[in-house]
Structure 1
Amino acid sequence: MNIETKFKWALTGFLVMVLLNAALLTTIWIKKSGNRDGRSFRDSDRNPNVIHRYMQRELQLSDAQTDSLSALRKSHFEEMRELRKELNEDRRAYFNFIMGDEAGNDQKRDSILTELTNRYNLIENMFYTHMTDMKEVLNNDQQERFEQLMRESFMHDRKGGTIQVPHRNR
């Protein structure tokens, strides 16, 4: 087999994987379409402010700290909602590119991938900034408890177990 044939087979395999992933994601999206707000799994009597009350209780926050954290979270989630929308648009453009007639245009592919990479980096940097801003509102004891709460909430695997994350040295 010459290199051109190998490339065509590799590209075909890649496209098949993309199509299978798209089908899987579509299936997941359709199953969740009745759960658009992402909160219907919660008890129907739960209030959207439950996270604020939980953090206030667990971290023993003052009213001023609670208000600050609430404002930070609200601002962060509004910014993230817009970024995720833009990221999904970039993903759609990339998928349309792969499926379109220009799929062999390396320059356009690189441009779209660069935009996706930049968007992912921006999202991760914003998350870092958000966590840093939240920690600045807390005192040292609250920061330790906050870190523990975040580890517990963010580091669960899909089967309900906890992923082991090394604790950073202080």
Structure 2
Amino acid sequence: MKIETKFKWALTGFLVMVLLNAALLTTIWVKKSGNRDGRSFRDNDRNPNVIHRYMQRELQLTDVQTDSLSALRKSHFQEMRELRKELNEDRRSYFNFIMGDEADNDQKRDSILTELTNRYNLIENMFYTHMTDMKEILNSEQQERFEQLMRETFLHDRKDGSMKMPNRNR
């Protein structure tokens, strides 16, 4: 085969690959930008008030309820940030223990695992308290809708490993 023919085939192959890549990237971009629910919108603009507006609209909250829920959420997330930081430090300690020379020390392993378990239990208990406190601010109708929203958000969408806000364009 002549060098010119090889060059033409290589150039043709290169152009075909470029076109296929462009088509694939365009498809991915169009599909991703078409999926604009409450959670993805929030992630894109990083505006913490989006969730408050969403809940206010969905639950028909009063201004007082909105302010109360906002204060609860702010406090909760500050506490959780600290606890998660401590949990990550405990995980690092456990990992360092596993990789270290004392990895066969059962007593130390049990101690670190107990600390990890206690920290995780504290986080789960704080989540329970937070959800209970939020429900106390709501009336009975709002509580029913709130429970439905939480089920849709936390349980239903976790099947695929993600947590998306339900798309509610009303």
Q: TM-score, normalised by structure 1?
A: 0.68
Aligned residue runs from structure 1 range 9-48, under 5 A: 42-44=43-45, 47-48=47-48
Q: Give the deviation of 1:143 after TM superposition.
A: 0.1
Check 1:144–1:91 CA distance in 2 against 1; reply closer, same or farther (3 A cut): same
Q: Relative contact order: is structure 1 or structure 2 higher (C-alpha 8 Å, sep ≥ 6)?
A: 2
Question: What one-letter code is carried by the residue in structure 2 that aligns with 1:102?
Answer: E
Query: Percent identical across equivalent pairs?
Result: 81
- In the superposition, relative to structure 1, how do residues 150 and 41 fare at CA in structure 2: closer, same or farther (>3 Å)? closer
Is 1:58 aligned to residue 58 of structure 2?
Answer: yes
Per the alignment, do residues 160 and 47 of structure 1 end up closer, same or farther by CA in structure 2, a change over 3 Å counting? closer
Cα displacement (A) at 1:82: 0.2
Please, which runs of 5 or more residues in structure 1 have no aligned partner?
1-37, 163-170
Provide the aligned C-alpha RMSD in A: 2.4
Q: Deviations over 1:80-111 (max 9, x none)?
A: 00000000000000000001000011110000
> Per-residue deviation at 1:47?
3.1
Question: How far is 1:158 from its partner?
Answer: 1.7
* Corresponding residue for residue 49 of structure 1: 49
- 1:132 has 2:136 as partner: no
Measure, in 2, the Cα distance between the counterparts of 1:50 and 1:72: 16
Matches for 1:41-120 after TM superposition, within 5 Å: 42-44=43-45, 47-120=47-120
Could you tell me which runs of 5 or more consecutive residues in structure 2 were left unpaired when the two chains were aligned: 1-38, 165-170
Count, aligned residues: 124
Instruction: Name the structure 2 match of 1:35.
Output: none
User: Partner of 2:86: helix, strand, or coil?
Assistant: helix
Where is the helix percentage greater, Structure 1 or Structure 2? Answer: 2
Map Cα deviations across residues 128-168 of structure 1 (whole Å, 9 max, x no partner): 00000000000000000000000011011226799xxxxxx
Per the normalisation by structure 2, the TM-score is 0.68
Amino acid at match of 1:158: D
2:160 to 151, 158, 161: 158
